[in-house]
């Protein structure tokens, strides 16, 4: 796939999602690349990964959420992605890979379906979940906390207590607790897992 296609997809995504949405999607793209490289390095017989189709799907996986919301967004994002990719010279296999990856990226598959799920979809599923566990999860936690506990007001500053819970060779686990600065009561808490890159 031509690098111009990927650059056009990235520009289109930024235009649709805005700066913040594009920042999140870019983190998912980076997670996809990291997970794909890790799979290739650690598997005895690694599956063949279409990295270009994976990257295109990662950029476009939330493309419909601005106009249509998150419910069933995998279908609408797949439709919008295929429509956007129409003028570009992608093979039928690449178009199919992007479509199947987008359609499967939001659901955990039962074991009998995981075998037939494209490896790119499995990677995007995991990369998207890792992205949701990143720093953006703190903001999401605050929004969810406000929705669940509308009577719990935070009228002052908020302090963040960040800790590494466990640090391993391939994974690290952290926790961030947000506390009201005056009353020291928890406002929100998020736990996260990070894959460690080999230096």
Mean pLDDT of 133-137: 56
Q: Residue 199's pLDDT is what?
A: 39
Handedness of CA 124, 22, 18, 144 (dihedral sign): positive
Label residue 57 by pLDDT band (50, 70, 90): very high
Handedness of CA 103, 114, 32, 50 (dihedral sign): negative
Q: Which residue has the tokens 């929004």?
A: 143
Q: Does 199 or 39 have the greater pLDDT score?
A: 39
Q: Which residue has the tokens 């794909």?
A: 36
State yes or no: pLDDT of 136 exceeds 60. no
Tell me if 176 sits within 8 A of 138, measured CB to CB.
yes
At residue 165, the 3 state secondary structure works out as: strand
Least confident of 132-136, 169-173, 184-188: 132-136
Q: Residue 130's pLDDT is what?
A: 75
Which of 2-6, 60-64, 135-139 tops mean pLDDT? 60-64
State yes or no: pLDDT of 172 exceeds 60. yes
Q: Residue 108's pLDDT is what?
A: 64
Q: Residue 145's pLDDT is what?
A: 53
- Contacts of 180-185 spanning 24+ positions with Cβ under 8 A: 180/154, 180/156, 181/156, 181/157, 182/155, 182/156, 182/157
Mean pLDDT of 86-104: 91
Region at 184 (left for phi over 0; alpha for psi -120 to 50; beta for the rest): left
State how far the Cα of 159 lies from the Cα of 167, in Å rounded to an integer.
Answer: 23
Residue-range domains of the chain with CATH: 3-132 (1.10.3210.10), 136-195 (no CATH)
Q: Residue 197's pLDDT is what?
A: 56
State how far the Cα of 99 lies from the Cα of 28, in Å rounded to an integer.
Answer: 17
Query: Could you please report the per-residue DSSP string of 84-99?
Result: HHTTS---HHHHHHHH
Tokens of 152: 């719990």
Mean pLDDT of 59-87: 90
Q: Does 166 or 79 have the greater pLDDT score?
A: 79
Q: How far is CA 191 from the centre of its chain?
A: 16
Neighbouring C-beta atoms of residue 126, cutoff 10 Å: 16
0.75 exceeded by the pTM?
Answer: no
At residue 152, the 3 state secondary structure works out as: coil
Q: Does 166 or 104 have the greater pLDDT score?
A: 104
């Amino acid at each position: 796939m031509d690098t111009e296609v990927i650059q056009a997809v990235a520009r289109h995504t930024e235009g649709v999602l805005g700066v913040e949405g594009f920042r999140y999607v870019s983190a998912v793209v980076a997670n996809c690349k990291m997970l794909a490289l890790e799979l290739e390095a650690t598997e005895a017989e690694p599956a063949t990964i279409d990295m270009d189709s994976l990257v295109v799907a990662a950029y476009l996986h939330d493309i419909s959420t601005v106009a249509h919301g998150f419910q069933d967004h995998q279908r609408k994002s797949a439709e919008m992605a295929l429509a956007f990719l129409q003028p570009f010279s992608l093979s039928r296999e690449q178009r199919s890979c992007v479509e199947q990856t987008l359609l499967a990226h939001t659901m955990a598959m039962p074991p009998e379906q995981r075998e037939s799920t494209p490896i790119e979809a499995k990677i995007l599923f995991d990369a998207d979940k890792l992205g949701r566990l990143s720093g953006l999860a703190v903001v999401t936690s605050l929004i969810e906390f406000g929705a669940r506990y509308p009577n719990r007001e935070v009228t002052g500053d908020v302090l963040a207590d960040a800790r590494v819970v466990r640090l391993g060779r391939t994974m690290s686990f952290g926790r961030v607790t947000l506390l009201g600065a005056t009353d020291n009561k928890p406002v929100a808490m998020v736990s996260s897992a990070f894959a460690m890159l080999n230096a």
